[in-house]
Amino acid sequence: MTLKPREICEKAWQDIASHFPDFKVTGKGQKLKKISKNKDLTFEICFQANRNNYACSVEFVPHVFIYSKDMKKANYHNGFVYGGELGSLLNRKAWHWWQLAGASYQYTVDEVSKLLEEHIIPVFDDFEDTESNIEKFIDGDIIDHNLLYYIYHFGGKDKAQQYFNKIIEKDKLRSKYIGFYNHLKDLPKESILLDEGEFYGADMIKFAYLNGIEIEK
């Protein structure tokens, strides 16, 4: 019996999930979920099927997400800690679609399983030790706006300021960010709304300013 594209995806997702027995599997393999040892963080691996799938092309994209109950309760970034689609997280092609049609099936299942095991599971493991993990982000190469909220909430203002200035230093929008930060100084704080993103990164700059995180000259 020939499987429909959706059935092929679900079979592949369950085959991938079989490599990660510590995760709870839901939605016919579409979501893998695990809770951190301290019960605060949720680690998720989700799969998105291409809505244009047909018999000769069956594609999907893996996504990775980390959420914090404590951050959500404190109203920081809606609890979102870190994540995105796999291609971008691995500094490969953004929105790379993995092919399952025909002979590609087993290669893709094996490749995605291996990438998750070698690159994503260690990231999840690092988040189990918050203090050490924050130091790794400050000293390492990962530049991600989302992490500023995590570092501020769990590591404090000084650690967040170190990471914020690392972002400012390395980001191609550096001049725009500095200009916007200085512009905020002329506005009443009550008029600065975090949920209005004027441009990419604006919400992060506003969060930093409102929480006393400074740009170091």
Question: pLDDT per residue over 2-36, tens digit each?
Answer: 899 999 999 999 999 999 999 999 999 999 999 99
Q: Which of 126, 141, 169 is the endpoint of a domain? A: 126
Per-residue pLDDT tens over the stretch 100-152:
999 999 999 999 999 999 999 999 999 999 999 999 999 999 999 999 999 99
Work out the average pLDDT over 177-195.
93
Q: Which of 106, 126, 146 is the endpoint of a domain? A: 126
Both tokens assigned to 130 = 């918050």
Alpha carbon of residue 136 to chain centroid: 16
Phi and psi at residue 129, in whole multiples of 5°? -115, 95
Please check whether residues 84 and 161 belong to one and the same domain: no
Please check whether residues 17 and 118 belong to one and the same domain: yes
Please check whether residues 70 and 122 belong to one and the same domain: yes
Q: Is residue 217 part of a domain?
A: no
Please check whether residues 111 and 173 belong to one and the same domain: no
Its domain, for residue 97, covers 5-126
Q: Which of 126, 153, 186 is the endpoint of a domain? A: 126
Please check whether residues 12 and 89 belong to one and the same domain: yes
Please check whether residues 93 and 160 belong to one and the same domain: no
Q: Is residue 216 part of a domain?
A: no
Q: Nearest 5°: CA angle at 21, between 17 and 23?
A: 75
Please check whether residues 99 and 179 belong to one and the same domain: no
Per-residue DSSP letter, 193: -
Please check whether residues 46 and 92 belong to one and the same domain: yes
